[in-house]
Structure 1
Amino acid sequence: MVHTTDTRKPYSGSKKTIVLAFDVGTTFSGVSYAILEPGEIPKIHGVTRFPGQEHVAGNSKIPTMMYYDKDGVMKAAGAEADGAAIADLAEDDGWLKAELFKLRLRPRSMKLKMNGMRLPSLPRGKGPVQVFGDFLGYLFRCTRNFIIDTHANGAALWQAVENDLQFVLSHPNGWEGAQQTKMRRAAIYGGLIPDTDAGKARIRFVTEGEASLHACVLNGLANDVLSNHAGHGFLVADAGGGTLDISSYAIRGTTPLVMEEIAPPDCVFAGSVFVSRRAREFLEEKLKRSKYGTPDSLDHITKRFDETTKRLFRDKKELQYVSFGSPLDKDTTVGIRAGQLKLTGNEVAALFEPSIEAAVASIRYQIESTGGIVKSVWLVGGFAASTWLFSQLQERLAPMGVTVSRPDSQTSKAVADGAIGFYCDHHVSARMSKFMYGVEFLREFNPLDPDHVARQDRMCELPSGPRLLADAFDCILARSIRVKESTVFTRKYCTEVTSLSTLTVFEVEIWCYRGGDTIPQWIQRQADNFTTLCVVQADLSPLAGSAQPKQSRSGKSYWTIVFSVEIHFGLTEFKARIKWVDNVRTSWEDEIVSGAILCFDRY
């Protein structure tokens, strides 16, 4: 089986451009790009030189962190912000360190367990979108400088394409439309695109799980599965700083390579940063009676734990050491001697355990939901470099007949490279719906149904006469449904209006239900598992000329309006629209919603 780069088709566009992929991780970030020449096969490049890292050849990742002054002005970012000189200057001038800000974009339905610790404060006058935008802008400027400095005639190349640059932004599997909207706003704030419809259309999104899948194909990790794929599913586990993104696929064709998602993707907060947070909490308790229990000392020891012990840990039977000080640092009552803190292997293993348990539980659920056809797990992402995580997944999944592999190449590059692969190769032809999507409708009141009687306060009467109950849920797209990119889910509805003027601002709510596979009868507006996904508005006033008035029982005029709600869910962005027929001509208003709602008239 040949690699994707050998089978990738030439770029079919009519003019040269560049596609940039930004992987803003919880703890580390990177950028990949491809120069798209008409008729030429695209090649993926990585930005391997950032300010503050010039001495490290080929390093493709920088810390996701920034410093802001007291007025909310960014003063340093990335590798530059991680140096000792900047840390001293920040302390002297009272700068604020911004980190872990990606976690602030998470959906409200995804609960974040911080073990009693809080996310760092945001700079003055800035919200999560603006901080995210500042970091995107920094990555964008670094990328521009790298391309100009690295490629022959780089300045001329950039000038020729800068107004038509294409972008791919990756995000965790659990992020939804609302998060995509925030990321697009951040891209505008950071200066990547103008705030126009044409500018917004230059942004595409891909989940980190799907981007990692393309990266596995790019680096050859998938070759064994691709060469013998009959009845063999596989799972990509992207273990990053904040999230573990789980996606399951099966191969449907090899010439060209076509894959389909075979289970709703999962996303859990089980990344490496939570091991560090648990370590900080553990050390605070262990050293609280020692002179090394001050906040500054704890921060330093935790950082050294991150840089050495956490990365190298492989055997809970062996003693572990955190080297943090000089030979003069000593406190034998807490296990410190010659500048090293001694820990047992079991103590370190316990810091990993909640993340490992969450990973195994999520992977097992995916395997069971696919009927056990998943036989391979590909572990990628920055946290995949942990030998302990890798060995524990191998050991605990072996009884299920599942093998766990990870690429020899740098796994932390997977998402950025894979996002370019997604843009160029587009291997995934069908995805699984993660949740249930539908609209509110009015259900006819049944006086013999106790549930209906209990809801009498929500009853209304149509001009045509029927008594109806509000808050009923009509499912348009159920959970775990295979959705091809060309598939459209449509339901036809009608409503009655007593004034044609209301048609100028007609809108419908689309609801998302996260409570399982059983279709609920009613929308529970205050429940965590029910949220509005998007609002689609339409101007139906053209129907006023053809609508025929009818008489209600009270003698008032009303009009019946018929329309359809369509959901397009096969792409990585949700799209919904209202469609209607106006004098035999089909019309529609649509909305690419990064989270929205379609709602009905209230009678």
Structure 2
Amino acid sequence: MESNWENKLIVASIDFGTTFTGCAFSMLADYQTYREKIMTIHWKSGVSEQATKTPTILLLKKDLSFESFGYEAEETFAEITEDSDDVDDWHYFKYFKMKLYDENKDSKIRTTSKVTDQNGREIDALHVISVSIKFIKDKIMDELKARIGVLRDDDVYFVLTCPAIWSDNAKRFMRTAAEKAGIANDHLRIGLEPECAAIYLHNVTLPDLSASKKQSFCMAHGDAYLIVDLGGGTVDIAAHKINGLGRFEEILIPDGGPWGSININFKFEQALTALSGARALETFRRENMHDYTALMRAFELKKIAFPGTRSKVTMQLPITYLQCHQNENRDSLLDSIKEVAHTVFSQCSFQPKNNVISFPNDSFASLYDETIGLILDKVRTILEYLEKVKQHDIKTIFCVGGFADCKLLRKRFTDEFGDRVIAPSEAITAIMKGAVMFGRDENIIEFRISRFTYGLDWSVDFDSKIHDPKRKEVTESGDVCKDIFYTIAEMGQRIPTDYATKKIESFVKASSQDRMEFPFYRTEKVQAPLYIDDPGCSLMGSMIVGLDDTAGGLDRYVTLEVYFGASELRAEATDNKGKKHTVAFNLDESEP
């Protein structure tokens, strides 16, 4: 795979988020004169005509063909639910990216994994995500053609972003989805979200908040910093150190958790459920989708703008919500607010004349407490580890991602960690713009840290003093012990990104063998296992190398070069005649 995209005509990025999606691109002429000139594609919305992102929402027809994506999908489905009797003939998907978050690091992400629509019906996740990516890819191509006229697919190279805390299988799943969406394998890179943000921040002028706002913030050789990517679904935390020539390396295995901003939305809906009952809220959502969407958009704006210092927060409730409440409850909404035992409604007031509910500052802030508390606890733990155990002086904590625009979150970060917290004004676009820069120069990240101890399913000469007799295998070239865990990278190992972590030579076992399979395993145990089926060891998938030329018999071999320092696991293969072979990586499809 070609590694240098610096001189490609166009590099585009797809920042595919849990709640919002955006895309950007860079033209070669712009990159050569001013590399920070990156164009973002805007989306039409009911709120703003110039939104830099659109909701990650997909609407499919009955036959699972594409209908719409983003704001358009949201609006179209709202109209369908209110004006049509065939609403069940449609499939509406929201927050489906979270399916790929592997919290325990041991569940299987498979190409047959499912996501559920608005009615709980299971649909192939690969189809849902690939259709979404295809729409975004086509939108980028249409935008480019409108700007420059004639354009070939081969002229555009894509970077698709993923959380750094995702498993190798989840990243591979996204690559498979992108290829299914029509992006060629050699025109696609996976960019890790906090790294992309870091690359962007290295290339723009930021105010030095610890000094005067008129001064610029600078990172020097040897400086270390934290990137906290605060997204809709997950919080993704990485730590880097600046090396020579403005490049950097990981100093921490990426960490984080499912503490994105959607948790605050869930808290708000849970509060409404406590107030009106699950049936009333579900009826409101199902029969009045336009009003439900408008209410949640209004809450989204309040959520981001709330500083935690106001005397109260006011919201106007739709009349249809009040009607649904009244139909399912004996009490009026005003009486229910007075009686409900929920912190959010403590000391709330309601004005029936204009349907405005007022939340006291502390009551509204309670929606954030658990989520922000979990984030701060994790950042605090990471800082303690880096500064006390690893002896790194963390100069700056960068907060990026859409959730980083939340004023209360910024305030609590600053209260906790002081002036070293920087939340750039373009936090929401930092990842998509940085992804374009990463596409032009992926080697700006010089070293990464191995997330696991990785190994191959290997065979060695059988030794009766060491090996299990049950694992003895007789081959044309002698007796071997199969199922050996052959370590090729150790957990915590500092691995370069620009050359192979390991070069492995493997001879064919049979003279007629027409392909080689290299099953990959991983473990979090410090002591690598002897065998691939030892406790704590799990199969990731297999790398397949086709050998169409069987001439040479048992003298044939393949040299496999594995890149564990790359943003995703990849490999290159060369046979004994010097011929390059494509390496296909197949996910483990066995049941978890």
Q: Which residue of 2 aligns with 1:479?
A: 491
TM-score, L = length of structure 1: 0.76
- Aligned in 2, Cα 1:392/1:82: closer, same or farther, shift over 3 Å? same
Q: Is residue 30–residue 61 contact of structure 1 (8 Å, CA) maintained in 2? A: yes
Give the Å deviation of 1:101: 2.2
Q: Secondary structure at the match of 2:458?
A: strand
Q: 1:578 to 1:144 in 2, by over 3 A?
A: closer
Q: In the alignment, which residue of structure 2 is the partner of 1:6? A: none
Asked if the contact 1:512–1:533 (Cα under 8 Å) also holds between the matched residues in 2, the reply is: no
State the Cα distance separating 1:418 from its structure 2 match: 1.0
- Unaligned regions of 5+ residues in structure 1, if any? 1-9, 113-117, 194-198, 548-560, 598-603
Percent of pairs with identical residues: 20
Cα deviation per residue 1:162-188 (whole Å; 9 max; x = unaligned)? 442211111111334443443344334
The one-letter amino acid paired with 2:413 is L
- Paired residue secondary structure (1:250): strand
From 511, 529, 532, the equivalent of 1:523 is 532
Structure 1: which amino acid aligns with 2:519? E
Q: Distance in 2 between matches of 1:320 and 1:346?
A: 10
Report the Cα offset of residue 348 of structure 1.
Answer: 4.2
State the distance in 2 between where 1:474 and 1:461 align.
17
Q: What residue in structure 2 maps to residue 36 of structure 1?
A: 28
Q: Tell me if 1:389 matches 2:382.
A: no
C-alpha distance 348-595 of structure 1, shift in aligned 2 (>3 A): farther
C-alpha distance after superposition, 1:62-115 (max 9, x if no partner)? 1111323333233332222333x7512344141332211222344585589xxx
Query: Cα 1:123–1:78, aligned 2, differ >3 Å: closer, same or farther?
Result: farther
Q: Distance in 2 between matches of 1:302 and 1:443?
A: 64
* Amino acid corresponding to residue 104 of structure 1 in structure 2: K
Specify the alignment match of 1:303 in structure 2: 296
Matched, 1:139 2:142: no
Question: 5+ unaligned residues in a row in structure 2: which ranges?
Answer: 108-114, 209-214, 323-332, 339-348
Pairs within 5 Å for 1:282-361: 282-288=271-277, 294-296=283-285, 303=296, 306-315=299-308, 320-325=313-318, 330-335=333-338, 337-338=350-351, 339-343=355-359, 345=361, 347-361=363-377
Structure 1 residues 479 and 226, CA gap change in structure 2 (3 angstroms): farther
Q: Equivalent residue for 1:500?
A: 511
SS at match of 1:314: coil
Question: What's the CA shift for 1:534?
Answer: 3.1
Q: Give how far 1:564 is off.
A: 5.2
Number of equivalent positions: 536
How far off its partner does 1:310 sit? Answer: 2.1
AA in 2 matched with 1:412: I
How much does 1:277 deviate? 2.0
SS for the counterpart of 1:334 is helix
Amino acid in the other structure paired with 1:310: K
TM-superposed CA distance for 1:36, in Å, is 1.3
In 2: Cα distance, 1:111 partner to 1:74 partner: 32
Q: Which amino acid aligns with 2:409?
A: L
RMSD over aligned Cα, in angstroms? 4.1
Aligned to 1:407: 424
Deviates more, 1:562-571 or 1:263-272: 562-571
Matches within 5 A, 1:431-442: 431-442=448-459
Task: Describe how 1:148-227 pairs up with structure 2 within 5 A.
Answer: 148-149=145-146, 154=147, 157-191=148-182, 193=183, 199-221=184-206, 227=218
Of 59-68 and 309-318, the range deviating more from structure 2? 309-318
Note if contact 1:209-1:237 (Cα within 8 Å) is conserved in structure 2.
yes
CA displacement at 1:495 relative to structure 2? 6.9
3-state SS in 1 of match to 2:408: helix
Conserved 8 A contact 1:300-1:324: no
Look up the equivalent residue of 2:543 and give its one-letter code. V
User: Is the 1:304–1:323 Cα contact (8 Å) retained in structure 2?
Assistant: no
Distance 1:480 1:422 in 2: 24
Write the distance in 2 (CA, Å) between the matches of 1:414 and 1:39.
20
- 1:23 counterpart = 2:18: no
Q: CA deviation at 1:325?
A: 3.5
| CA shift digits 1:447-496 (9 cap, x unpaired) | 888xx7xx66x432546999876544221111222222333233656678
Quote the offset at 1:233 in angstroms: 0.3
2:484 and 2:321 map into 1 onto residues whose CA distance is 71
C-alpha distance in 1, partners of 2:319/2:42? 33
